[in-house]
Structure 1
Amino acid sequence: MTSKKRLQEIFIHNSAGRILLGSLTAFALYCLALGGLALVQPELAKSLVMTFFAHLLGGRAAGVAICLSAGIAPLGVIAYNMLIELIIVFIAYALFVLTYNHTLDFRFIRVVERHIEAQAHRHEKKIEHFGWFGLFLFVMLPLPIAGPLMGIVIGFLLRFSVTQNFSAVLGGTLGALVIWTYFFKTIEEYLYIVRYVVIFIILSVVVVGLFDLKKWLKEERK
């Protein structure tokens, strides 16, 4: 198969591939917008970039706290954080499905996909009992391992339709962002402390995540 046909198979003839292409395009536009903002409001752009990395590491509450401490209004905080979650969830879903179906076979993605799938299997029976609402709550509530990335994988493994899966996951995500935004708004005077705690937590998660990834890659070689 030629490289052109291979790309067509992934990005045109495959629904997950089309989702990946669309979400990567949205991410590129997002990066361009942040780059433009950095030229005129570098401090705000810095806070928005920190918010993105907080979400990338699963820190919805951290992302909300960073935005509020930067002086962004609550509705703006919710909208911006939701935009980030949309981009991350769509990219993660597409990569997971393409790897799960063996359309893509990148070693790094395959290793991460296997461990996410193993974690998801631990929770799917509990969620299956409550159906769509169970997945919605799983994503919304601040539970260990819970969140949109794990939720979207569980929804896929439970064979939810794409509409059911994304509506539950994105609805739960929006609910969580609204709750965190107005919770932090009530303790606004302490947000400067929260911001430094958040930075420490993010750095800790990065270190732990790198050690986990190193361990997973070693296990893959065995």
Structure 2
Amino acid sequence: MNYSKRKIVLLSTTGLFAFFLILMVSISFIDTKLAGYISSMALTNILIGRVPSISLGTSLDLDILTVVFTIFTTEAILSLFFYTLFLYSLRNIKLLESLSNQVIKLHNTASQYKEYIDKYGMFGLLFFVFMPFWMTGPVVGIIIGDLMNFSLVKNITIVAIGTFVAIFCWAIMIKYFIEYIQVFI
């Protein structure tokens, strides 16, 4: 790991976050209701998780692409943010004490799953990110990819694909589930 890797991830995180904020401000000028819905979904994803956020977006009658894009962008920002903290913590650079404790927990969790995923390589990581179990997903997955010595591009690509497929599958499943339930209401 070198300085440029940390810098690239930090700039990517900042750029993606800035893009999302600019997009939200632009949407709020056009449709404040939609901007509120998207903000609610993003906040729900950060505080509670993927499935409740997708359920919220679907129940608000947002189209699947808006739901998937919002959740994917939010999870990408979160993953890159914690990955940045992880990379800086490897160099013993402490940004905030409370965040350092979270990064240590993520590192320990990632280390526990590493040996299982090592057997299957990038497909194991893809499956790990895709599966909806506790402490799986993109945040831990991107750290596992780093522990497996994947290149930065390969790691982010695998985690992004697994995350996108998982979000898309959940969105389709929840949409059809809500439509099925509405038949009986």
Fold agreement, TM-score > 0.5? yes
Please say if 1:174 is aligned against 2:171: no
What amino acid does structure 2 have at the position aligned with 1:51? Answer: M
Aligned position for 2:75: 85
Please say if 1:150 is aligned against 2:140: yes
Matches of 1:161 and 1:104, distance apart in 2: 24
Aligned position for 1:50: 40
Structure 2 unpaired stretches of 5+: none
| 1:141 to partner: Cα distance | 1.0
Deviations 1:138-188 (A, max 9, x none): 110111111100111111112222122112211110110111011011122
Aligned position for 1:99: 89
Q: CA 1:159–1:84 in 2, change beyond 3 Å: closer, same or farther?
A: same
Q: CA 1:90–1:72 in 2, change beyond 3 Å: closer, same or farther?
A: same
What amino acid does structure 2 have at the position aligned with 1:14? Answer: S
Q: CA 1:66–1:159 in 2, change beyond 3 Å: closer, same or farther?
A: same
Greater gyration radius:
1
After alignment, is 70-79 or 163-172 more displaced? 70-79
1:67 aligned residue (43, 54, 57): 57
Please say if 1:41 is aligned against 2:25: no
Aligned position for 1:135: 125
SS in 1 for 2:135: coil
TM-score, normalising length from structure 2? 0.85
Matches of 1:16 and 1:123, distance apart in 2: 23
Matches of 1:187 and 1:100, distance apart in 2: 43
Moved over 6 A (4+): none
Could you tell me the percent identity over the aligned residues? 24
| 1:24 to partner: Cα distance | 1.2
| 1:106 to partner: Cα distance | 3.0
Paired residues, number: 180
Matches of 2:110 and 2:9, distance apart in 1: 22
Structure 1 unpaired stretches of 5+: 1-9, 192-222
SS in 1 for 2:120: helix
TM-score, normalising length from structure 1? 0.72
